[in-house]
Structure 1
Amino acid sequence: MNLLEEVKLIVEQKFRTESADHDWYHIERVLKLAEYIQSKEGGDLLVIQLAALLHDISDHKLNGGIKNDCGRVSREMLTRLKADEKLIGQVCEIVDNVSFKGAGVEDVTGSIELDIVRDADRLDAIGAIGIARAFHYGGKHDRSFYEPNLEPTIHANFDAYSSDKSHTLNHFYEKLFLIKDRLRSKTAQEIGSQRHDLMAEFVASFLKEWNVNLK
C-alpha cells in the first residue's frame, strides 16, 4: 500500500461516522474536484491529493472548537507514515489555509496546489450539494431556516465567523455567495459560476415562498 492509499484509508475510516455536512463523501468529492482541476491547471498531483484528503482532518467544527489544527494533525500522520519532509511541509501549508475565515478576511496567497485544493473545497460548499450541506449543518445545530429581522454579518476575523450562530439563510450571504469571486483557478471559476447561479435561484424562490408571494 502506497502513501496515498494509506492516508485515504485512515481518512475514510475517520470520516465514515461524521454527519453529512462534513462526512467521507464530502472529502471524496473534494478529492475528485481537486484531481479534475489539476488535470486542467497543473500542479503536483500527489500534494494536491493528500491535502484534499486531509483538509478537514482536524476542523474546528469537528474537533470541539480547536482552530488551525489541521496542519499539526496532518504532520503527525504523514511523519508516522514516513512521508518525505518536503512533501509534509507542502501539504501542511495547504491544509492550514483552506478554510474560509470570514467575509472580511483575505485568503492567504500561495502555491497553485493551495489554490486548487481551496477551490475544490469551496466548490463543494456551493450549488445543489452546498445548499443541502448548509441546511443539514443548520439543522444539526438547531438553527432556524430564516429570521427576517436578523441581517447578515461581514465577519472581520475567524473568531467572529466561527462563533456566529445565525440562521441558515444568512450563511448564503456571509459565505456561499462570496465564493464565486474568491475562486482562483479558471477551471473552478467556470464550475463555480454555474453553481452560484443555482444557489441564487434557490434563495430567490425560498424568499418568494417564505413571503407567500404568489404573483
Structure 2
Amino acid sequence: MLDQQKIINNVQTFVKQKLADDFSGHDMAHIERVVKLAKQILKHEPTANHFIVILSAYLHDVIDEKVVTDVNHAISELNDFLIQQTISQSEIKHIFDIIENMSYRKNLAQKKELSLEGQIVQDADRLDAIGAIGIARTFYYGGNKHNIMYDPTILPRTSLNEENYKQPNTVINHFYEKLFLLKDRMNTQVAKKIALKRHAILVEFVKQFEKEWGGDDEEIIP
C-alpha cells in the first residue's frame, strides 16, 4: 500500500528545490497557498481524489514555461521523479493531464476538458491570481519581466492567443485581459463564491490606481 503522506512530503521537497530561485510570483509560497485553497475546495467536493489534487497542486508550476527554461527537460525530470515514488502510470498520466492543460494560456483558444481534480487545482491556482495577493503577484511578475506599470495610450487587447499572450504589455492591462475574467471561469461552486470577494478587490484597486495616475484623486478636505 502506498504511503501517500510520504509521497506528498517527497513531492513538496522536490518542488521546493525546483522553485527555490523563483522571483516571478510562482515561488513556494504561491504553491503552498494553492495547496491550501485546493484543500478548502476539496471539503465541498467529496468525490474528488484528494491524493491527485494535492500532488497536482504542488506540481502545477514545475513544468511551466514561465518558470523553467527547458519545458521538455522539466517534463522528463518530473516523470522520472514520479516513477521513483512508485505512483501508478494512470496516476502519473492524470497529474500530467492536469498540470499540462490547466493554465490560462492553454485555454485561450478552447477550454480544455479537465477532470474534477483538474478543475479544483485550476480554481485554486486562479484564486491565488486575484484578490490582494493577486494584485501583489501581478506587479511582482510584471517588474520581474520589465513590463511598465501603466500607459493609458496602450489599450488592453481584446483578442488573445497562446502567442500574443506572452508578448509584453502593461501590468494594468493584465487585469483587463485576464484577472477580471477569472471569476466567471471558476469551475466549482465554492471557488465561485471566494472569487466574488477577491474580484471586487481587483476592481476597486484598478479604479483607484487609474484615478491616482491621472491626478484625479479626491481633494483633501481641511
Relative to the length of structure 2, the TM-score reads 0.89
Q: 2:38 aligns with which of 29, 34, 58?
A: 34
- Structure 1 unaligned blocks of 5 or more: none
Choose 51-60 or 8-17, whichever is displaced more: 8-17
Residue identity opposite 2:180 in structure 1: F
| Per-residue deviation, residues 33-55 of structure 1 (Å, max 9, x unmatched) | 01110111230000000000110
Kept after mapping to 2: 8 A contact 1:74/1:92: no
- Which runs of structure 2 are paired with 1:1-215 in the superposition (5 Å)? 2-19=6-23, 21-42=25-46, 43-64=48-69, 66=71, 72-101=76-105, 104-162=108-166, 164-215=167-218
How large is the Cα RMSD of the aligned pairs? 1.9
- Structure 2 unaligned blocks of 5 or more: none
Which SS does the other structure have where 2:87 is aligned?
A: coil
Using the TM superposition, give the Cα deviation of residue 81 of structure 1 relative to its aligned residue in structure 2, in angstroms. 2.1
Kept after mapping to 2: 8 A contact 1:99/1:118: yes
State how far apart, in whole Å, the 2-side matches of 1:113 and 1:18 are: 26
State how far apart, in whole Å, the 2-side matches of 1:202 and 1:170 are: 13
Q: CA, structure 1 residues 123+73, in 2 after alignment: closer, same or farther (shift >3 Å)?
A: farther
Using the TM superposition, give the Cα deviation of residue 144 of structure 1 relative to its aligned residue in structure 2, in angstroms. 1.0
Which SS does the other structure have where 1:125 is aligned?
A: coil
Q: Runs ≥4 in structure 1, deviation > 4 angstroms?
A: 68-73
Residue identity opposite 1:45 in structure 2: H
Q: CA, structure 1 residues 84+69, in 2 after alignment: closer, same or farther (shift >3 Å)?
A: same
State how far apart, in whole Å, the 1-side matches of 2:109 and 2:100 are: 15
State how far apart, in whole Å, the 1-side matches of 2:144 and 2:59 are: 23
Residue identity opposite 1:148 in structure 2: P
| Per-residue deviation, residues 42-82 of structure 1 (Å, max 9, x unmatched) | 3000000000011001211122274x887554323211222
State how far apart, in whole Å, the 2-side matches of 1:146 and 1:102 are: 26
State how far apart, in whole Å, the 2-side matches of 1:156 and 1:69 are: 28
State how far apart, in whole Å, the 2-side matches of 1:103 and 1:52 are: 18
Kept after mapping to 2: 8 A contact 1:102/1:174: no
| Per-residue deviation, residues 63-122 of structure 1 (Å, max 9, x unmatched) | 2274x8875543232112221111111111111111111784332122110100000000
Relative to the length of structure 1, the TM-score reads 0.92
Q: CA, structure 1 residues 103+78, in 2 after alignment: closer, same or farther (shift >3 Å)?
A: closer
Using the TM superposition, give the Cα deviation of residue 199 of structure 1 relative to its aligned residue in structure 2, in angstroms. 0.4
State how far apart, in whole Å, the 1-side matches of 2:126 and 2:73 are: 19
| Per-residue deviation, residues 120-169 of structure 1 (Å, max 9, x unmatched) | 0000000000000000111112211101111111344212212x100100
Q: CA, structure 1 residues 38+69, in 2 after alignment: closer, same or farther (shift >3 Å)?
A: farther
Which entry has the higher C-alpha Rg, 1 or 2?
Answer: 2
